[in-house]
Amino acid sequence: MADLTYWLALVVTILNYATPLLIAAIGVLIVEKSGVLNLGVEGMMIVGAMVGYIAGSYLDTSSCALMGFDGVTCLQWEGTLTIPGYIASFLLAGLAGAALASLFAVMTQMFGANHVATGLGLTILGLTVTNGFGPDAKDMRVESVANLLPDSWVALPTVGRLLGTDLLTVLAFLSAVAALYFLNRTRVGMLVRAAGENHYAAHALGYHVRLIRVGTILFGGFMAGVAGAYISLVQLEAPTWREGMTAGAGWLALALILFSTWRPLRVVLGALLFGLAFSLELRLQSLEWMPSWGVQFVLPSLPYLVPVLVLVIISRNAAMIRANQPGSLAQPFNPSS
Amino acid sequence: MKLMKTLTAGLLGTAMAAVTLAAQAEPTKVGFIYVGPVGDLGWTYRHDQARLAIEEAFGDDVVTTYKENVEEGATAVDAITDMAEAGQDIIFTTSFGYMDPTNQVAGNYPNVKFEHATGFKREHDNVSTFSARFYEGRVIQGLIAAKTTKSNKIGYIASFPIPEVIRGINAFTTELKKHNPAAEVEIIWAFSWFDPAKEAAAAQTLIDNGADIIVQHTDSPAAMQVAEARGVKAFGQASDMSRFGPNAHLVSIVDSWDSYYVDRVQAVMDGSWSSSDTWWGLTKDGMGGGQGMVKLASYGNMPDALMAEAKALEASLASGARHAMPCPINDQAGNLVKDCAEGAEHLSDLTLVTMDFYVEGVTGNIPQ
């Protein structure tokens, strides 16, 4: 059983679960590096998941016509989200996340509201809105999402699974590298860090701390929205919308940042670890070495137990956290006083 | 005295007539408790279709209401109580996990009729139970799977380890092994009736483990969609799921509650309702009489010869020419199951209703 095909499939599954965590976490990383703590990730993700799904269900065939294909071809594509529709769906999901984030930006940057309270409110808002106004699965649906590579490649035995990896998975890992470069090698990235390390110093040097933070907050919202849409459109291989379907992924993204102590490449490592925990749930069940209470209760909590355990271990090393934590994270900022 | 009696009788009669009149003017109120959303496109969707069939059948004489996404267990008590408080005449509770809550509430509301799906407890006169012999459909799936699989590995997504689900696994596996002894079944427990994410992940895992056919006893079409995306075959559950897997769908076991629901509401209307236990299969009497609660829909993606064989099997199960689980049947240890050991021709309904063991051919243990 445990041949190359099996292990490749496991790798693909880990990547699949790691992708939304990584995308959202890179957003969180940039936000926190600018000194803002936004606990609204879960809310922005679920809104992104819903908007992405709705957009996808409207864009599946119309995008086909937009590309200039004839009606017969488009009919064959019905229910399949094509590449342009895919890009548009994710952009819309990201914008929806950013729109929710803009509320947070206004509250915290214009009115000086408390970050923690506002962020929690954002999560509750996102979950409530999507519960009340979420679409009914029987009214709209996306059947599948087109592969980036030709279908014949994806259908290949063994390596096909790897070739079927979604474009966003690739982009997610690239975004971690980009974040590393951005924070350490670009002028804007350094300004972000300056705002996060000591906002009064940055302010005294003439930088517009609030503007920088509004920018990062919107970026974080965009990433959370995209991550949410990945869950509803791609992750399951069966595009699905359901209330609360992000199931804490937003909180895991926040936990990832603590795990990584604000270092981009460790975010990647953490996302893979959390992804492994998700992948093992059903795989361990089929090995049948665990008593049934373990199968029923321990395995499903694995993706949440692992982060808790890891965080307990990490937080024993307070020095490392202090060395990397942005100095002004979630601190009140009153430049006029 | 006599005058008094006459007067009283007259008054009583008038009052009775008034009550009857009022009862006729008042539409019969029918409530439903659903475990999933109406839009699950599976189990709950079919119950809701039957609710609409009641509205269709009785028009203005009925008012139906439903509550969806009601958790099984203690929280269901509140939902069912609310329904009873709201003056429903009859309440359908449509999931196994509502068994104790239904009986508990029924004790408090003796004038309300309760219909519990797939359970076996009738602790009060106002509780009926009903279920469908879905395992008849599993037998047909077993035959199709046996002759379709190339990897000889079947993936089975189970929900909860209750008799209905175990019965399905046993019926499927027995028929599968009969036609293809080399085929194996891998079971993953979702511990949920409706959780598309979990169902999809289970299908992904089973396919990764080598399965080329997916059987599900959960409510959403997610597994069918995964099968379609991965180019393997799958069976639909509860509703016709063929549109979710144009190239994957073999056949769906479709629940058909309409006729039973309409019958029961009619019984409430003419006062003939009484506590009963109903178990219909492909036909009402298991001998070809009337449409039952189980239908098979949209055979496809298989050779014509196999489709003909499957339909012939369906016909013989429907007519009672063949029982779904005929003796001899062994348990996992290889000993004859009690009914068969006692010389029965097939497993008894009692054995089927309370089934808590795997038959020979099923590997692994039932989670407790």
* CA–CA gap between residue A232 and residue A130 (Å, rounded): 13
pLDDT at residue A181, rounded to an integer: 95
Q: What is the fold, at CATH topology level, of the domain defined by B2-132+257-280?
A: Rossmann fold (3.40.50)
For residue B252, the cross-strand partners are: B236, B297
For tokens 């506002």, what's the residue? A118
Find the mean pLDDT for residues B220-234: 91
Task: Return the HEC string of B78-145.
Answer: HHHHHHHHCCCCEEEECCHHHHHHHHHHHHHCCCCEEEEECCCCCCCCCEEEEEECCHHHHHHHHHHH
- Give whichever of A220-224, A302-306, B293-297 has the largest mean pLDDT: A220-224
Find the mean pLDDT for residues B26-33: 90
pLDDT at residue B102, rounded to an integer: 93
The sheet with strand B249-255 has its strands ordered as: B184-189, B153-158, B213-216, B233-238, B249-255, B294-297
Global pTM exceeds 0.90: no
Query: With an 8 Å Cβ cutoff, are A292 and B365 in contact?
Result: yes
pLDDT at residue A249, rounded to an integer: 93
pLDDT tens digits for B57-105? 898 899 999 998 898 888 899 999 999 999 899 999 999 889 999 999 9
Task: Return the HEC string of A100-149.
Answer: HHHHHHHHHHHCCCCHHHHHHHHHHHHHHHHHHHCCCCCCCCCCEECCCC
Query: With an 8 Å Cβ cutoff, are A236 and B200 in contact?
Result: yes
Find the mean pLDDT for residues B45-58: 90
From chain B, the residues in CB contact with A247 under 8 A are: 197
First vs last C-alpha separation in chain B: 69
Do strands B249-255 and B113-117 pair parallel, antiparallel, or not at all (unpaired)? Answer: unpaired
Query: With an 8 Å Cβ cutoff, are B221 and A238 in contact?
Result: yes
pLDDT tens digits for B154-211? 999 999 988 899 999 999 999 999 999 999 999 999 988 888 888 999 999 999 888 9
- Give whichever of A167-181, B12-26, B235-249 has the largest mean pLDDT: A167-181
User: pLDDT band at A72, cuts 50/70/90?
Assistant: low
Q: How many other β-carbons are positioned within 10 Å of the β-carbon of residue B349? A: 12
Q: Is B55 exposed, middle or buried (0-12, 13-18, 19+ CB in 10 A)?
A: middle
Q: Evaluate if residue B21 carries a pLDDT over 50.
A: no
pLDDT tens digits for A197-213? 999 999 999 999 999 99
Tell me the average pLDDT of chain A: 85
Q: Which of A61-65, A202-206, B232-236 has the lowest mean pLDDT?
A: A61-65
Find the mean pLDDT for residues B15-31: 64
pLDDT at residue B74, rounded to an integer: 83
- Do residues B165 and B43 lie in contact, with contact meaning Cβ atoms separated by under 8 Å? no
Find the mean pLDDT for residues B321-347: 88
- Do residues B252 and B241 lie in contact, with contact meaning Cβ atoms separated by under 8 Å? yes
Q: Show the tokens assigned to A230.
A: 């990945």
Same fold, B2-132+257-280 and B135-255+293-353: yes
Q: Is B306 exposed, middle or buried (0-12, 13-18, 19+ CB in 10 A)?
A: middle
pLDDT at residue A65, rounded to an integer: 60
From chain A, the residues in CB contact with B368 under 8 A are: 292-293
- Do residues A248 and A42 lie in contact, with contact meaning Cβ atoms separated by under 8 Å? yes
Of B178, B185, B128, give the one whose Cα is nearest residue B322: B178
pLDDT at residue B2, rounded to an integer: 46
pLDDT at residue A70, rounded to an integer: 60
Find the mean pLDDT for residues B39-55: 87
Q: Is B170 helix (H, G, I), strand (E, B) or coil?
A: helix
Percentage with pLDDT > 70 across chain B: 93
Give the CA-trace dihedral at A74, A75, A77, A78, to 10 degrees. Answer: 120
Q: Evaluate if residue B345 carries a pLDDT over 80.
A: yes
pLDDT at residue A136, rounded to an integer: 61
* CA–CA gap between residue A106 and residue A215 (Å, rounded): 12
User: pLDDT band at B289, cuts 50/70/90?
Assistant: confident
From chain B, the residues in CB contact with A10 under 8 A are: 208
- B135-255+293-353: which CATH number, 3.40.1710.10, 3.40.50.2300, 3.40.50.720, 1.10.10.60? 3.40.50.2300
Find the mean pLDDT for residues B116-131: 90
B196, B209, B368 ranked by CB distance to A242: nearest: B196
From chain B, the residues in CB contact with A137 under 8 A are: 37, 39-41
Pairs of residues, one from chain A and one from chain B, whose beta carbons lie less than 8 Å apart: 91
From chain A, the residues in CB contact with B209 under 8 A are: 1, 6, 286
Residues in contact with B184: Cβ distance below 8 Å, sequence separation at least 6, in sequence order: B152, B153, B154, B363
CA angle, A97 as apex, A92 and A102 as ends, to 5°?
Answer: 120
pLDDT tens digits for A23-32? 999 999 999 9
B40, B225, B367 ranked by CB distance to A237: nearest: B225
Return the amino acid letter for A69.
F
pLDDT at residue A138, rounded to an integer: 47
Of the two residues A308 and A230, the one the predictor is more confident about is A230
Residues in contact with A129: Cβ distance below 8 Å, sequence separation at least 6, in sequence order: A47
Domain ranges of chain B: 2-132+257-280, 135-255+293-353
DSSP-assigned letters across all residues of B222-282: HHHHHHHHHT-EEEEEES--GGG-TTTEEEEEEE--HHHHHHHHHHHHTT-----EEEE-S
pLDDT at residue B105, rounded to an integer: 92
Query: With an 8 Å Cβ cutoff, are A240 and B201 in contact?
Result: no
pLDDT tens digits for A78-111? 567 777 778 888 999 999 999 999 999 999 999 9
Residues of B with CB under 8 A from a CB of A: 37-41, 45, 161, 186, 188-189, 191, 196-197, 200-206, 208-210, 220-226, 228-231, 244, 364-365, 367-368
Percentage with pLDDT > 90 across chain B: 45
